[in-house]
Amino acid sequence: MNRFESLLRYFPHPVLVLDAGCGDCDTAQQYRGQWEKSGIIGLDQDSDGLKRAFHREPSIHWLCADLTQLPFAPHPQFDLILARHPNVDGVPATWARFFETVPTLLLPGGHLIVTTYSALESDKVRQWLAPAPNLLEIPIEGLPPSDLVGHDAWVRVYCRKP
């Protein structure tokens, strides 16, 4: 079991999951295998990537949208939001705006998982989320080491306070 699969096991029964910036979502089948009954939305601006994601896993709702103009904001509805490898260096303004919005999207008791390749990226995310008074960073321990490429090397998990 890899690091990301181990991480997902901490969240066994989310009702509605958002994968923000999912790209072609090479983990789509992992999501469906882990959360058979969950509603899952994959969101990205890349329509070609979303087409590939749909062919991988058609049971997930794939949505082409801008992270800064989310169609469901500001209504809390997600139990779990994933931001796996957000391109915080390439498009920092987009991700900063998205992370500002996250507390309004999470249900009370809902979780945000952010994984990055580097400590610098992880620290940027933490800085963007620090002003949110209703988010609490929670430790996740006992994960396997990241792979040689560094997938999910840095993991941050937040919980929206009830």
Beta-bridged to residue 114, according to DSSP, are 83, 156
Q: Which residues pair with 157 in a beta bridge?
A: 113, 138
- pTM higher than 0.85: yes
92, part of any domain: yes
pLDDT score recorded for residue 94: 96
Tell me the C-alpha distance between 18 and 116, whole Å: 17
- What's the CA gap between 115 and 127, in Å, rounded? 15
**The pLDDT of residue 135:** 97
The verdict on residue 73 lying in a domain is: yes
Q: Is residue 13 part of a domain?
A: no
Q: CB–CB of 13/38 below 8 Å?
A: yes
pLDDT along the chain (162 residues), means of 10: 85 94 90 92 96 94 94 86 96 96 95 95 97 94 78 93 92
CATH code for position 90: 3.40.50.150
What is the length of the chain? 162
Q: Is residue 104 situated within a structural domain?
A: yes
Structural domain contains residue 79:
yes
Tokens matching residue 38: 């969950």
Query: Is 119 contained in some domain?
Result: yes
Specify whether the backbone of 23 is left (phi greater than 0), alpha (psi in -120 to 50) or beta: left
Number of domains in the chain: 1
Find the domain containing 96 and state its range. 3-8+18-160
The pLDDT score that the predictor gives to residue 26 is: 86
